[in-house]
């Protein structure tokens, strides 16, 4: 039944094409002088021959066209099962836009006095532009989605300039990397409410955590399992979902997790939260904003000024002669000049100077009551 219906539709399309073609032939014959005398019978003859010829051609090629279409439909069905939802949605939008353009273009020949051919041409233009629109939209799906997300962020910021500035600062998504999840302090920072906006944990970070947790190395395995525990805590307490990045085709081609993170941050207009010093450097080159937990921890350490006194336990020798080393509760190293003789004791010291380095602070001190110490870098 369906085959007959399909054949009838194609035959009808052939008849329309033939009728339209006959109008063109008649228009051309009008330039011949003898045509005026026989115009009526010739026109009818041309119309009948052209219409029937095209109708028969389309009638006989209908079965092979149907087989081709069925094969195409089968392949399309298989392909659609592999297409991510994001691409499917954008493909549909592209198809609709293509059909709108086709409608506008088809208006160009509506004024021509060849109505049947106009219908056939319109059908071809609709098919062609619909396909082009769908093809471009699916190829650029990830870029289009990123653009829409960017617009959504901008719109949610409001029309007020102050609100838009605040929203631009607050609303940028925070993308967590593997190191910061394993470290665990991020969960405590989130608890305080200092991190605002959407928290993003990409699927490829979860995959890397699982690989670490399955490592043959005991230390790595424990780190990976700790990371998964922290991840579970973040998900349960703050409702953070794993971000599925499979729709982002530009990410699939990148094998390195760090490079993927930076690319995702660029796509989402987000910031990467990390503990990785090297990732910090690469992000700076790529123009991606980074929130480094170690830098935050260093910033929050209590300020120590020269002349301050503190009670310390000296634990080991320093690099230079007569130096001893002590540590604050937060891990800051203090070098005590002339403190070698007090190793193993708890004494009062006076801070002489403080050095701030990329690795953290180094404090120099001397035992209280001694002469003014000097320090060595």
Domain segments of the chain: what residues? 2-142, 172-298, 302-367
- Determine contact, residues 134/87, Cβ cutoff 8 Å: no
User: CA torsion, points 280, 282, 287, 288, in degrees to nearest 10?
Assistant: -50
pLDDT of residue 5: 79
Q: Give the dihedral sign, CA 276/277/282/287.
A: positive
pLDDT of residue 336: 92
End-to-end alpha carbon distance in the chain: 93
Both tokens assigned to 189: 């920072």
Question: What is the residue-wise DSSP string for 86-127?
Answer: HHHHHHHHHHHHHHHHHHHHHGGGTTSS-HHHHHHHHHHHHH
CATH fold for domain 172-298: Rossmann fold (3.40.50)
- Determine contact, residues 324/317, Cβ cutoff 8 Å: yes
DSSP E strand stretches across the chain: 174-176, 199-202, 242-243, 271-274, 290-292, 309-313, 316-317, 324-327, 333-336, 346-357, 360-367
- Determine contact, residues 20/116, Cβ cutoff 8 Å: yes
pLDDT of residue 115: 56
According to DSSP, the β-strands at 316-317 and 324-327 are antiparallel
The CB density around residue 365, as the number of other CB atoms within 10 Å, is: 27
CATH topology identical between 172-298 and 302-367 = no
Whole-structure pTM value: 0.44
DSSP state of 372: P
Ranges of residues in the chain whose predicted pLDDT is under 70: 1-2, 33-39, 79-86, 109-117, 141-147, 149-171, 245-253, 357-360, 370-377
Specify whether domain 302-367 bears CATH 1.10.3720.10.
no
pLDDT of residue 295: 81
> Hey, is 331 helix, strand or coil?
coil
Q: Give the dihedral sign, CA 107/108/114/116.
A: negative
Both tokens assigned to 49: 């021959």
Report in angstroms the alpha-carbon separations of 112 from 99, 103, 237. 21, 16, 68
Q: Give the dihedral sign, CA 198/202/205/207.
A: positive
pLDDT of residue 375: 43
pLDDT of residue 377: 42
């Amino acid at each position: 039944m369906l085959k007959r219906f399909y054949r009838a539709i194609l035959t009808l399309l052939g008849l329309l094409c033939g009728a339209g073609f006959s109008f063109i032939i008649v228009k051309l014959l009008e330039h011949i002088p003898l045509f005026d005398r026989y115009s009526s019978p010739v026109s009818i003859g041309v119309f009948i021959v052209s219409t029937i010829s095209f109708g028969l051609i389309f009638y006989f090629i209908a079965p092979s066209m149907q087989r081709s279409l069925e094969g195409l439909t089968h392949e399309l069905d298989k392909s659609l099962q592999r297409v991510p939802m994001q691409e499917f949605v954008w493909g549909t939008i592209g198809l609709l836009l293509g059909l709108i353009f086709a409608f506008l273009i088809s208006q160009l020949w509506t004024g021509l006095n060849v109505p049947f051919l106009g219908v056939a041409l319109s059908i071809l233009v609709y098919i062609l532009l619909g396909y082009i629109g769908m093809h471009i939209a699916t190829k650029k799906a990830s870029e289009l989605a990123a653009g829409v997300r960017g617009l959504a962020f901008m719109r949610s910021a409001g029309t007020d300039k102050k609100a838009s500035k605040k929203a631009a600062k607050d609303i940028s998504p925070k993308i967590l990397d593997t190191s910061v999840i394993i470290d665990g302090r991020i969960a405590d920072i989130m608890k305080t409410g200092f991190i605002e906006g959407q928290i993003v944990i990409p699927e490829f970070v979860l995959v890397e955590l699982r690989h670490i947790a399955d490592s043959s190395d005991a230390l790595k395995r424990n780190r990976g399992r700790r990371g998964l525990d922290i991840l579970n805590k973040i998900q349960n307490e703050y409702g953070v979902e794993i971000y599925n990045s499979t729709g982002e085709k530009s990410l699939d081609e990148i094998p390195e997790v760090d490079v993927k993170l930076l690319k995702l941050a660029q796509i989402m207009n987000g910031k990467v939260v990390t503990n990785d010093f090297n990732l910090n450097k690469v992000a700076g080159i790529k123009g991606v904003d980074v929130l480094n937990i170690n830098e935050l921890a260093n910033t929050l350490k209590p300020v120590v000024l020269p002349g301050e006194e503190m009670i310390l336990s000296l634990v080991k020798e320093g690099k230079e002669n007569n130096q001893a080393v002590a540590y604050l509760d937060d891990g800051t190293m203090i070098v005590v000049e002339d403190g070698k003789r007090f190793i193993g004791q708890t004494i009062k010291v006076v801070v002489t100077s403080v050095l701030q380095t990329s690795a953290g602070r180094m404090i120099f001190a001397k035992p209280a009551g001694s002469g003014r110490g000097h320090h060595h870098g």
